[in-house]
């Protein structure tokens, strides 16, 4: 659904969430989410990795942006277009790649 048409008081189906259409709703169901409220504690990056594992293919990274928009909204923030999250996703992935791990 367009983020500009979302009604927080009427979140019954996954497609009632911002930036979620049939395809994304199907992806969310593959991940085990059937109702919007179930997304409250979900990590968009983990959701993306699980989706790639489940489907056996690497999805466009913009899917992370959509997942970020959904989880941000479900955790109380205003609905925003998925592309508002692109820079944040890129920065988070850049940091994740450059942070050394300890063994």
Domain-by-domain residue ranges, the chain? 8-98
The per-residue pLDDT for 46 is: 97
Q: Which CATH number fits domain 8-98: 1.10.10, 1.10.150, 2.50.20, 1.10.3470?
A: 1.10.150
Q: What is the pTM assigned to this prediction?
A: 0.90
Q: Positive or negative, the Cα torsion across 16, 3, 8, 60?
A: positive
Alpha carbon distance 58, 51 (integer Å): 8
The per-residue pLDDT for 52 is: 97
Mean predicted lDDT score pLDDT of the chain: 93
Q: Which two tokens stand for residue 98?
A: 């450059």
pLDDT tens for 51-93 read: 999 999 999 999 999 999 999 999 999 999 999 999 999 999 8
Alpha carbon distance 40, 50 (integer Å): 17
Q: Which residue is listed with tokens 């940091």?
A: 95
Q: At residue 40, does pLDDT exceed 90?
A: yes
Q: Which residue is listed with tokens 């479900």?
A: 74
Alpha carbon distance 34, 57 (integer Å): 22
Q: At residue 100, does pLDDT exceed 80?
A: no
The per-residue pLDDT for 103 is: 58
Percent of the chain exceeding pLDDT 90 equals 85
């Amino acid at each position: 659904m367009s983020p500009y048409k979302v009604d927080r008081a009427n979140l019954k189906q996954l497609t009632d969430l911002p930036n979620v259409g049939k395809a994304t709703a199907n992806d969310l169901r593959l991940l085990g989410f059937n109702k919007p409220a179930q997304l409250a504690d979900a990590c968009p990056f983990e959701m993306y990795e699980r989706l790639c594992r489940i489907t056996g293919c690497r999805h466009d990274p913009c899917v992370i942006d959509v997942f970020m928009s959904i989880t941000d909204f479900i955790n109380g923030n205003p609905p925003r277009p998925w592309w508002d999250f692109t820079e944040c996703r890129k920065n988070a992935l850049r940091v994740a790649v450059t942070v050394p791990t300890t063994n």
